[in-house]
Every structure is written in C-alpha cells, then in structure tokens.
C-alpha cells in the first residue's frame, strides 16, 4: 500500500511538475480559486469544465479523489473534457461491484459511459469542485 499511496500522492508531480499537498481535500483547498459546482447537475458541471477549465492548471475534486483537467477532446462526435487521474474503478448505481481501471489514465468525464450505462459518472458525485492553479 505504500507504493499505491506514493503513486496517488505524487502522480501530478512526476509528469507535470505540480506540487500539491497530501490529500485531495487539501489539494483543492491549496488552489487560489475554487469554484464549487456541487449544487449543479452533471450536465452543467461538464459544460462548465469544458468552457472554463484551463488545461493542466485546473484540478477537479470529488470526495477522496483529484483529477487534472487536460483539455477537451472529440469522442463520438462530441466535445468532452479529458482528465488525467489515478483511479481504481467506477461503481455502478445499484451493485456493490465496480469496474476496475486500476492505474493512471487519460479519462473522459462523461454523463454516462456507453460501455456500461449503470456506472456512476465521476462528474455526478455529491461534491464537485474545480480548483484553478493559475
């Protein structure tokens, strides 16, 4: 678990040179400008990130997890926000199982995932905050 801890803690430092505090909550609070979108629906959250996110200097926070916004990409003829994150997996809405990802990935923030529409979007968590490093 020590290796996993270091990977989660330092994953933005090695490839991007971003030095952040130890955990996700401290990381989002360390940014000079935080926008709390927790009361917004998933579509509004995704739209706001696409329109106002600054690639490589915007953090996306959900409880216990941090993502680095890296810009927008075209997927299936839609423009979607892309993130770089270290993620274990996604949970379905009903089951206690999860779909395992298990690594550092470039991952789209979608309202739902076509591979399994039962998976809960990371953009649809109870808290959703954007932190702007610059």
User: pLDDT tens digits, residue range 108-118?
Assistant: 999 988 887 77
Stronger pLDDT, 45 or 94, i.e. the higher one: 45
Give Cα separations from 5 to 13, 117, 133 (angstroms): 14, 30, 23
CATH superfamily for 2-132 is endopeptidase domain like (from Nostoc punctiforme) (3.90.1720.10)
Query: Span 21-36, mean pLDDT?
Result: 89
Stronger pLDDT, 42 or 88, i.e. the higher one: 42
CA 72, CA 106: separation in Å to the nearest integer? 11
Residue 68 has pLDDT above 60, yes or no: yes
pLDDT at 134: 81
pLDDT at 6: 38
pLDDT at 71: 98
Give Cα separations from 65 to 33, 78, 114 (angstroms): 18, 25, 23
User: How does pLDDT run across 35-59, given as a tens digit for each residue?
Assistant: 999 999 999 999 999 999 999 999 9
HSE-CB at 82 with a 13 A cutoff on CA atoms is: 13
């Amino acid at each position: 678990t020590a290796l996993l801890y270091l990977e989660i803690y330092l994953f933005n430092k090695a490839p991007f040179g971003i030095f952040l505090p130890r955990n996700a909550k401290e990381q989002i609070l360390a940014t000079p400008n935080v926008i709390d979108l927790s009361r917004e629906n998933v579509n509004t959250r995704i739209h706001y990130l696409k329109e106002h996110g600054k690639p490589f200097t915007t953090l996306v926070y959900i409880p216990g997890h941090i993502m680095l916004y890296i810009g927008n990409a075209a997927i299936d003829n839609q423009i979607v926000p892309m993130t770089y994150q270290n993620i274990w997996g996604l949970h379905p809405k009903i089951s206690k199982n999860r779909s395992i990802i298990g690594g550092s990935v470039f991952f789209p923030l979608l309202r739902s995932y076509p591979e399994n529409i039962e998976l809960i979007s990371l953009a649809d968590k109870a808290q959703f905050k954007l932190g702007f490093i610059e």
